[in-house]
Amino acid sequence: MFHIYTGESKGKTTASVGLTVRSIGAGNKVLFASFFKPDGSSEHEVIEKLGATFLRYTYRGNFFKRYDKEEIAQAKKAFEEFFSQVQEQAGGHDMIVMDEVVYAIHMGLVDEQVLVDFVNKHKDVEVVMTGRDYPQALIDVADYVTEMTKIKHPFDQGAQPRKGVEF
């Protein structure tokens, strides 16, 4: 089935990591592809230690950076190469997690139909995607859509992200 974790609040990646742990605990093989996350995200190291296949896309920083036209072209090429790697390695896995992949759509690096086609091609495994503002086309093909809603967050009071909690 296809899962989406979305919303403005903390918890999207945390939920996908929880599913990864649960799936590995059940003896499944997991491919965890991290998109646009900066170096130092604590979950990356533990995911590999648990035995998941871990892939990480980076292009000059993370999804908070604004790119000019030349950088967008370079980032698009880098994204296409990375996404090809994800597609090549997807076979043989019981779960495919694509953390923060939706930002590639927002940045103009990939058309949403490419991700819809990916989901449709992998109906025999659990596909998990995280990130904010999913397009309706992906929501329409999802089996699970969970929206994280912020009621209160320390960031609102100026708190800085804490290693091991926010990243």
- Alpha carbon distance 115, 31 (integer Å): 16
CATH superfamily membership of 2-157: P-loop containing nucleotide triphosphate hydrolases (3.40.50.300)
Looking from the CA of 141 toward its CB, the CA atoms found within 13 Å total: 21
Q: pTM here?
A: 0.90
H or E stretch including 148?
strand 144-148
- Alpha carbon distance 50, 46 (integer Å): 6
pLDDT at 52: 97
The alpha carbon of residue 147 and the mean position of all alpha carbons in its chain are separated, in whole angstroms, by 15
pLDDT at 63: 52
pLDDT at 167: 74
The domain ranges of the chain are: 2-157
- 75: which residues sit within 8 A by CB, 6+ positions away? 59, 60, 67, 107, 109
Per-residue pLDDT of the chain (167 residues), as tens digits, is: 999 999 988 899 999 999 999 999 999 999 999 988 777 778 888 899 999 999 998 766 555 466 778 888 888 899 999 999 999 999 999 999 999 999 899 888 899 999 999 999 999 999 999 999 999 999 999 999 999 998 898 888 888 888 777 77
pLDDT at 58: 75
